């Protein structure tokens, strides 16, 4: 699969957007409840049953890492996933939320009644990183986004809305 570097000279994206084959499953109903004028910031995680988002216990694992994940959704079904510093400022936001500068590219769609995101991301590391499509299941409840990886369906990450600066909200996505 051919790739190119984004402007940060670290992140690779596919040169052929046909890699996002599930894009044909996108329709505007999939965006119901998703705010495209914000980023969703990872705030904590918990364990659940494999086939749902119901917590197994009351304990939440709050994210104490210096870097966290952020989702950005676009009206056309494109998705960007960023790993950024926690509590980044407006200047960092304007640079890093630019999809030509950083972020894993993906698409939002619904299949068999389940909302999913396919991301082009690093699947494994070796002498050279191995890129592939990684599928995540998402659910929206109020202002929160709940995410499960197909690879680890018992682990749920919870994201909360965070406002974008006017400059960062002006970026568009076209993959």
- What pLDDT does residue 88 have? 65
**DSSP E strand stretches across the chain:** 3-5, 12-14, 38-47, 61-62, 67-73, 78-85, 104-111, 114-124, 130-141, 144-149, 155-163
> Cα(97)–Cα(168) distance, rounded to whole angstroms?
6
Confidence check: pLDDT of 166 > 70: yes
The 10s digit of each residue's pLDDT in 60-94 is 776 667 788 999 999 999 999 998 877 666 667 77
Cα 155 to Cα 11, 58, 150, distances in angstroms: 26, 14, 10
Give 140's strand partners: 145
pTM given for the model: 0.91
Summarised one tens digit per residue, pLDDT across range 96-117 is 889 999 999 999 999 999 999 9
Tokens 């986004």 map to which residue? 145
Q: Where are the alpha helices (DSSP H) in 47-138?
A: 90-96
With a CB cutoff of 8 Å and minimum separation 6, the contacts of 124 are 130
Mean per-residue pLDDT, 7-25: 94
Burial per residue of 60-76, b for 16 or more beta-carbon CB atoms within 10 angstroms, e otherwise:
eeebeeeebbbbbbbeb
Average pLDDT, the chain: 90
């Amino acid at each position: 699969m051919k790739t190119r570097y984004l402007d940060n000279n670290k992140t690779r994206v596919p040169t052929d957007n046909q890699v996002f084959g599930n894009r044909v499953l996108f329709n505007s109903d999939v965006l119901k409840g998703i705010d495209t004028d914000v980023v969703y910031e990872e705030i904590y995680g918990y364990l659940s049953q494999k086939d749902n988002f119901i917590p197994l216990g009351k304990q939440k694992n709050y994210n104490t890492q210096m870097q966290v994940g952020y989702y950005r959704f676009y009206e056309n079904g494109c998705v960007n996933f960023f790993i950024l510093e926690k509590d980044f400022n407006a200047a960092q936001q304007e640079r890093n939320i630019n999809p030509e500068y950083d972020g894993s590219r993906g698409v939002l769609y619904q299949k068999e009644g389940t909302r999913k995101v396919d991301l082009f991301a690093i699947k494994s590391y070796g002498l050279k990183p191995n890129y592939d499509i990684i599928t995540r299941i998402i659910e929206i409840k109020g202002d929160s986004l709940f995410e499960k990886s197909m690879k680890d369906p018992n682990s749920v990450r919870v994201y909360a809305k965070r406002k974008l600066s006017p400059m960062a909200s002006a970026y568009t996505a076209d993959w």
